[in-house]
Structure 1
Amino acid sequence: MESNKECSIAERWIKDQWAYKWKWEFELDGLFSVRSARKIIESSLLTTGNIVTRWCKNVPIKVNILMWRLMWDRLPTRMNLADKDIDIPSVLCPICNYEFDSSDHVFFKCDTAVQL
């Protein structure tokens, strides 16, 4: 990210402090912005699709994050943990011990959880 790749450490130590010349390579003007960083994260890490991430400001942020993780099936259910090769004793729902523990089951199909 240093704009001058050939600089020495001594060149960056100016008046008893570090002075870097950074260049943000993801924008044409070379300036960093949160918007450009978010675009990079969304394009490389997040699941792509036609759904735009929208946050509802009327609910707490943790509810927004929970709903986003539920929508993309990113909750740490036993099925998702098993898919990541995490050693767990069983993939059955710990509440009813009858069906596979998935986001769909926990939030919509497990009789005990739905009653709560």
Structure 2
Amino acid sequence: MLSNMEDRWVWDLNGDGAFRVKDVRTLLDECFLSKAPTALRWVEYVQIKINVFALKVFLDRLPTRSNLQHRGVQVKF
């Protein structure tokens, strides 16, 4: 059914159409962190690049020579 209203963005995670960062964080936690063996949280008083680095270390995703070779990336000396 079409109406004469102007187009608008609607956020409907909680049912009231209001955007809240808490709702997004809850959604992301449920989608991603519930699968992790331990809860992962950002440390707010540390720079974002340190948080990302710590997460990559925790998940063994640093682009080290052995990790790259394990994933099939050609590494030249």
1:78 to partner: Cα distance:
0.8
Q: Aligned Cα RMSD in Å?
A: 3.0
Runs of at least 5 residues in structure 1 that lack an aligned partner in the other structure: 1-5, 13-18, 96-116
Same amino acid, percent of matched pairs: 21
Could you tell me which runs of 5 or more consecutive residues in structure 2 were left unpaired when the two chains were aligned.
none
* Equivalences, count: 73
The 3 A distance-change label for structure 1 pair 23 and 64 is: closer
Corresponding residue number in structure 2 for 1:89:
74
Change beyond 3 A, Cα 1:89–1:49:
same
Larger RCO, structure (CA 8 Å, separation 6 or more): 1
* TM-score of the aligned structures, taking structure 2 as reference length: 0.60
Structure with the greater alpha carbon radius of gyration: 1
Taking structure 1 as the reference length, what is the TM-score of the superposition?
0.45
1:75 equivalent to 2:62? Answer: yes
Equivalent residue of 2:5, what SS?
Answer: helix
